Amino acid sequence: MNRRQFLCASAASFVCVGNLSAATYDLVIKGGRVIDPSVGLDAVRDVAIVAGKIAAVETDIRGDAADTIDARGKIVAPGLIDIHTHAARVAEGARICLQDGVTGWVDGGSARADNIDQIAAAARAAPQIGRVLVNISRTGNAPDGELMDINRANVGLARGAIARHRDMVIGVKARLTHDIAGTNDLEGLRRAQEAAAPFGLPVMIHMGQSFSPMRSILALLKRGDIVTHMYAPAPNGILDDDGRLFPDVAAARRRGVIFDLGNGGNRHLKWDVVERATRQGFWPDTLSTDWTANSRENPSVIDFPNVMSKFIMLGMPLAQVIACATVNAARLFPAFDDRGTLNIGAPADVAIMELREGTFEFVDNYKGMRTGHQRLFPIAAVLAGKRAPPRA
Ligand SMILES: [Zn+2]
């Protein structure tokens, strides 16, 4: 479609008369390897954008463009969606991760009843789409352990926070690690479900090193709920003492519970757990970083493309790695229904990355190193059809 056809098609109620603009397209991304798992595409294509939307994905798009990006030798993917970040915690967070190609994010629990207005405002002010999960504890991620006193998990206050920002809060978060929740992990999770239920929202749990076993925790999760930090080591991870995947974990996935990477920096990711689980076929549904504004200094995270690259090293096909960071993530939340795709008419959010060959060290949360031979690097991001400011 050219500009005129596209604008006419997308504004059917308006009478389309000539003289729309001199250029046929606002932006054309030329000659990249377009990997869009939402439509099963992996081929060299041009991507044309009009009025902030994808207008065409074809070989050799002709016609004038107001702006052109030469993407030859690069990967052109739907904008990345990171479902476990803390991008709303500081004002500049959203802008920093946009430079890494993250055109959509979920802040996983920086918000709580006591600060929901501030976090929702930060999400609203973000250049890209940002949404938040509200921590079931009114004090949120607290150094003294936000569920040690179960009275902080106040269902009424959490529901009030959701109701006040119904457009921005898309789920509830509960952190269940022993030094956060003590013996209250199951009760904290029950209250998170109670808070989410009237709104039909998912709950995301932060698993690993909990008091209760995974079997008891998983029993409280419903279809669409999300387990983050899925490769956290024992006690009470997804593997038994002999390193075998618990049958309850596979059963939870079969009934629609989502397993998310949640890379993080501390106690959430250990190579031997990742390797044992993936050897048994237990791969992530979604990749995510547990990103903060300091993540570039954290060798385990650096940026989302670095975290994605760990799974290239582990043998996940590249298109699947990109699916885990785009369309799979978008499917979890209605707010992201039109994201994670380069389909015609979708918002023109695009991540341009380079897959470099070389020797790269990948770090878990325990200073464990693995060496890979390919790594994705963020090159440019396009947000609503416009180039995002480049990384400094
Ligand atoms: Zn987190």
pLDDT digits (tens, 9 = 90+) for 113-129: 999 999 999 999 999 99
Separation CA 230–CA 322 (nearest Å) = 18
Separation CA 148–CA 277 (nearest Å) = 31
CA of 26 from ligand 1 middle (Å) equals 37
**Does the pLDDT of residue 283 top 90, yes or no?**
yes
- How far, in whole angstroms, is CA 12 from its chain's centroid? 34
The DSSP secondary-structure symbol of 54 reads E
Copy the structure tokens of residue 330. 């978008």
**Does the pLDDT of residue 3 top 70, yes or no?**
no
Copy the structure tokens of residue 281. 């076929």
Q: What's the whole-number mean pLDDT along residues 50-73?
A: 97
Separation CA 11–CA 32 (nearest Å) = 30
pLDDT for position 143: 85
**Does the pLDDT of residue 275 top 80, yes or no?**
yes
Separation CA 216–CA 222 (nearest Å) = 13
Separation CA 28–CA 382 (nearest Å) = 11
pLDDT for position 390: 86
Token pair 């978060």 in the structure block, residue = 173
pLDDT for position 19: 44
Q: What is the pTM of this model?
A: 0.95
pLDDT > 90: percent of the chain: 92
Query: 10 Å Cβ neighbour count for 155?
Result: 18
CA of 85 from ligand 1 middle (Å) equals 6
In this structure, are residues 114 and 170 in contact, taking their beta carbons and an 8 Å threshold? no
Copy the structure tokens of residue 156. 């009424």
Confidence grade of residue 9 (pLDDT, cut at 50, 70, 90): low
Backbone φ, ψ for residue 185 (5° rounding)? -60, -45
**Does the pLDDT of residue 77 top 80, yes or no?**
yes
pLDDT for position 17: 44
CA of 358 from ligand 1 middle (Å) equals 31
CA of 382 from ligand 1 middle (Å) equals 26
Backbone φ, ψ for residue 368 (5° rounding)? -75, 135
Q: What's the whole-number mean pLDDT along residues 77-88?
A: 98
Indicate the Cα dihedral angle 381, 384, 387, 388, nearest 10°.
-60
Tell which phi-psi region holds residue 3, choosing left (phi > 0), alpha (psi between -120 and 50) or beta.
alpha
Check residues 383 and 140 and name the one with the higher pLDDT: 383
Q: In sequence order, what are the beta bridge partners of 374?
A: 357
As a residue count, the chain comes to 392
Nearest Cα to Cα of residue 200 among 147, 174, 162: 162
pLDDT for position 22: 63
Average pLDDT along the chain:
95
CA of 175 from ligand 1 middle (Å) equals 9
CA of 335 from ligand 1 middle (Å) equals 20
CA of 380 from ligand 1 middle (Å) equals 26
Check residues 191 and 140 and name the one with the higher pLDDT: 191
CA of 226 from ligand 1 middle (Å) equals 13
Residue 267 neighbours by CB under 8 Å, 6+ apart: 177, 208, 209, 232, 233, 365, 366
Separation CA 213–CA 207 (nearest Å) = 10
Separation CA 112–CA 142 (nearest Å) = 11
Q: What's the whole-number mean pLDDT along residues 33-45?
A: 98
Nearest Cα to Cα of residue 41 among 54, 53, 28: 54
Helix and strand counts by DSSP (H, E) for the chain = 12, 15
Separation CA 140–CA 150 (nearest Å) = 12
Residue 288 neighbours by CB under 8 Å, 6+ apart: 82, 83, 84, 85, 108, 228, 260, 261, 262, 263, 307, 329
In this structure, are residues 31 and 41 in contact, taking their beta carbons and an 8 Å threshold? no
Copy the structure tokens of residue 259. 């397993």
